Structure 1
Amino acid sequence: MKLIKVGLCAFGMSGKVFHAPFLKEHPGFFISGIVERSKQDSKENYPDAIIYRSVEDMLKDEDIELVVVNTPVQTHFEHVKLALEAGKNVVVEKPFTVTVLEAEELVNLAEKKGVLLSVYQNRRFDRDYLQAQKILKEKCLGEIKEAEIRFDRYRTEPSTKHHKEDPQQLGSGALHDLGAHLIDQAVQCFGFPEKLFADIFSMKGDDFANDYFEIIMYYKNHLRVRLKSSVFSKEAHYAYILHGERGSFLQERADNQENELISGSLPLYGKDWTLPLKESDGILNFINDNAKTERVLTTSEPGNYMNYYQQIYESMVFGYALPSPATEIIQNMIIIDAAQRSAKEGKVINLI
C-alpha cells in the first residue's frame, strides 16, 4: 500500500479529535509533521511526527504530499494558499473560507497547480444524516414538500475561543461553524436553492458573534427547506424532519463519533467502531404502495469519519472522485454570504 505523508497545521481540538486519530489508524497515511507553535502535546501519541513551529517551516518538507489546514477559519485562506503554492494536496477544515471570493481564488490556484483541494465536511458521514439521506433515496415519502435540519445546543456561556466569539472577526459565529454543515447537507439532499431568507443574531448579546440562525431556502415545486441552530435548547429537537406527499420522517441527532473521540476512543480502519444504539432513533410514518399507513420506528446505521479519509486516499492514489471537492463547496459559501446579506437587509435574496 502506498504511504502518503501528511502535515497537520495545528494540534488543537480539531487536530486531536477529527484528524490525527483517523490519519494514524489508516494504513495508507503517515503523520510526518505537526505544527505546534509552543507546545509538544502531540509527542505522546504521535512520537514519530516532527514538530514544526510554523506552517511555513512544515511546508518546506518536500516529502509531505497532503496538508491538513485545521487552523482558525480566519487563517484558512492564507494557509491553504501557502500549501497550494508549495505544490501540496490540501484538506481544509470547514468552513472553507470566510468569503466566496477567497474560496474562488483557492479553487483556481489548486487547478493551476494540478493538486487536490477538499473541504472536510465530515458530517456527511454522521449516522443521522446518512439515515435521512437513505429515506430520501427510497422515495417512500413521495415528493418532499418541507424539510428541516437543525443543530441545537445548550451552551449559554461564550466559548473561550476568541476567533469564534468576536463579532468583529469575519467568519466567527454559528453560521460559519454549524451552518457550514447544515447548508452542505441541504445542498447535498435538495440541490442549490433559488432564493433564501435568513435571521441571524446573537442570543447572548451584541458583544458576541452570532449563535442563532434560521435560514429558509426556497426551491422549485414549492419545496421549503429550513435550517436552524440555537444555543439555548435544553431539550433536543428532531435533527431532520421530512414531510412529503405520502408521509413524514423524523430523525434524532444520534451520531456519537465526536463524543467517543473526545473520550479517547480510537477509530477503526475498515469497520464500524462506535457503540451501537440501544434504541431506535427515528420515526417513519407513510402511506405504502398498498394505500396502507405504516408507522415504524427506525434505527440508523453507524457513520464513520474514516470513510472521508479513505476517499481522500483513493482519490490521491487511484484518481477516484474527491470527497467534498472545493469546487462544490463554493456553493455553500455563496449561501453563507447570501444569508448574511439577507439578515442584514431583512429581505429575500435571489440566488438563481
Structure 2
Amino acid sequence: MASKIYNVGVIGYGLSAKVFHIPLVQVTPSFKLAAIVQRTPKPDDDASKDHPDAKIYHSADELIADPSLDVIAITTTPETHFNFTKAALEAGKHVMVEKPFVPTSQEAQQLSDISSKTGKLICVYQNRRWDSDFLTVRKLMNEGTLGRVVEFNTHFDRYKPSKPTNWKGTLGMDHAGGVVYDLGTHLIDQAYVLFGLPKTVTAIFSNQRDDGDAEPDSVTILLGYGASGPLVTAKAGVLCVETDQLRYWVRGSKGSFKKFHLDVQEDQLKAGLKPGDKNFGVEDASRSGNLVVLKDGKPQGSVFANIEPETYATIYAGFAKAIETGDASAVPVKATEARDVLKIIEAAKESAKSGKSISL
C-alpha cells in the first residue's frame, strides 16, 4: 500500500520559502507542494508562474482554511509566527515554522500546549542542526576524540557594513528581529543540542557599525555550564575583515578542532541545487577543519574533512515521518526545544541590559 501523500501549503514567497522550504518539500516523497500564499505577485516574481500546479492564495487565512491541506509551512517574518501557527493548529494542520519560532518563550509554550491539545505537530526549522561541519563536530565529541570539552566557540562573523533592510535589521528585538534572533538563534540552538540548558548566560550586545542605531548588530554570548562544564562562546559580528571566517573552535582534554567557512548548502540552494544533486552539501577539501590530538603526550595536527552530509532535507523527511506515525517525540526540532532556546535568548537580553550574568 502506497504511503499517504500530504498536501503542503506555504505561507510567504520570499527567500525563505523559495530557497529553504519549497525545494525541501519537493524532495520529500510523502509531501506535495499544493498551495502558496503570495500577497503581491510581480511580473518577475510570480508564484503562479513558478509553480503552476499549486493553488495561489493572497492571504494566510484563505490558505489555512483550505480543507485539502495537511501541513502548513510558515516562512513569514517572526512577529507573524504565533498567530499563523495557532490558527493552523486549530484548523487541524501540522506546522513547520521558520526560525526564530516566536518572539517569546511564553508564546512557544502556549503553542506547544495547543499542539498537544489538537494532536497536530509543530516542527521549528532549525536547519543548521544539519550543517555538515556541525555534524562533524558532534561526531568528534560523541566519539570522545576531543576528550572532555572545556571550551566551545561558535561564530557567525562576517563583513557587512550596511544594515539589512529586512526583519534581520529593522524589526527590533521585541518582535524577534535583529541579530540575536537571526544568527544568534542558530548559534544558541547548536550549543543547546550539544550541551542542553546552561546554568548561566552572560551577554554583550554592541553596534559595531556605529551608525547610531539603538538595536545591536553584533553579539557575544557566554553560556556557562558549571565549574566542570564547558564554556560556550557564541559570537556574531558584522565588521570582521577576514579571508577565512572562523566557524568553530572546540577545545577538549584530549584535543581540539578548528573549522573555518560556512556550510555550503545555503549557497547551493540559492544557486538552484537540491538535496540529492551531485555534491550537494559537500565542501571542497580545501575547506576541511584542523584536528589536533595528543599522541605520546605531544600535540599532533591533521586535516579532518567533514563527514558525509545528511543535508537539510533531513528535517523535512523527519517531520514527514513523525506526521505519518503520529509520534510527537520523532519531530526533528520540537517546539519545547525552541522554547528553551528562546529562554536563553531572553536571559542574554537581560544580561546585556543589566551588565550581569543571569542564572537559568
2:281 & 2:263 partners in 1: Cα distance? Answer: 9
Q: Describe how 1:54-73 pairs up with structure 2 within 5 A.
A: 54-73=59-78
Aligned amino acid, residue 339 of structure 2: I
2:142 & 2:263 partners in 1: Cα distance? Answer: 20
Secondary structure of the structure 1 residue equivalent to 2:124: strand
Aligned amino acid, residue 144 of structure 2: K
2:321 & 2:151 partners in 1: Cα distance? Answer: 36
Deviation by residue 1:169-223 (Cα, 9 ceiling, x = unmatched) = 5211100001110000001111210011001132233426321000111112152
1:145 & 1:122 partners in 2: Cα distance? Answer: 26
* 2:108 maps to 1:103: yes
Aligned with 2:332 (options 323, 326, 343): 323
Aligned with 1:350 (options 347, 352, 359): 359
Secondary structure of the structure 2 residue equivalent to 1:279: helix
2:38 & 2:69 partners in 1: Cα distance? Answer: 17
TM-score by length of 1: 0.94
Q: CA deviation at 1:264?
A: 1.8
Q: Describe how 1:199-238 pairs up with structure 2 within 5 A.
A: 199-204=204-209, 205-207=211-213, 209-220=215-226, 221-235=228-242, 236-238=244-246
* 2:256 maps to 1:248: yes
* 2:16 maps to 1:8: no
1:143 & 1:109 partners in 2: Cα distance? Answer: 39
Deviation by residue 1:144-183 (Cα, 9 ceiling, x = unmatched) = 1111101112111111215632447521110000111000
Change over 3 Å in CA distance of 1:32–1:307 after alignment to 2: same
Aligned with 1:305 (options 309, 312, 318): 312
1:194 is aligned to 199
Q: CA deviation at 1:124?
A: 0.6
Query: 298-307 or 74-83: which moved more?
Result: 298-307
Q: CA deviation at 1:275?
A: 4.9
Aligned amino acid, residue 294 of structure 2: I
Aligned amino acid, residue 178 of structure 1: L
2:154 is aligned to 149
Aligned amino acid, residue 202 of structure 1: N
Change over 3 Å in CA distance of 1:200–1:303 after alignment to 2: farther
Contact 2:97 2:125 in 1 (8 A): yes
Contact 2:264 2:283 in 1 (8 A): no
Change over 3 Å in CA distance of 1:208–1:347 after alignment to 2: closer
1:87 is aligned to 92
Secondary structure of the structure 2 residue equivalent to 1:239: strand
Aligned residues: 349
1:78 is aligned to 83
Contact 2:285 2:305 in 1 (8 A): no
Aligned amino acid, residue 311 of structure 1: G
Deviation by residue 1:90-117 (Cα, 9 ceiling, x = unmatched) = 1100111111111111111111111101
Identity of aligned residues (%): 35
Aligned with 1:273 (options 280, 289, 298): 280
Q: CA deviation at 1:245?
A: 1.2
Aligned amino acid, residue 294 of structure 1: Q
2:235 & 2:122 partners in 1: Cα distance? Answer: 28
Aligned with 1:118 (options 108, 123, 126): 123
Query: 297-306 or 1-10: which moved more?
Result: 297-306
What is the RMSD computed on CA atoms of the aligned residues? 1.8
2:240 & 2:86 partners in 1: Cα distance? Answer: 38
Contact 2:8 2:32 in 1 (8 A): yes
2:282 & 2:293 partners in 1: Cα distance? Answer: 30
Contact 1:214 1:227 in 2 (8 A): yes
Secondary structure of the structure 1 residue equivalent to 2:135: helix
Aligned amino acid, residue 252 of structure 1: F
1:166 & 1:184 partners in 2: Cα distance? Answer: 21
Aligned amino acid, residue 91 of structure 2: A
Aligned amino acid, residue 62 of structure 1: P
Aligned amino acid, residue 20 of structure 1: I
Runs of at least 5 residues in structure 2 that lack an aligned partner in the other structure? none
1:343 & 1:53 partners in 2: Cα distance? Answer: 40
Secondary structure of the structure 2 residue equivalent to 1:178: helix
Change over 3 Å in CA distance of 1:144–1:276 after alignment to 2: closer
Aligned amino acid, residue 239 of structure 2: F
1:254 & 1:218 partners in 2: Cα distance? Answer: 25
1:340 is aligned to 349
1:209 & 1:43 partners in 2: Cα distance? Answer: 37
2:69 & 2:170 partners in 1: Cα distance? Answer: 33
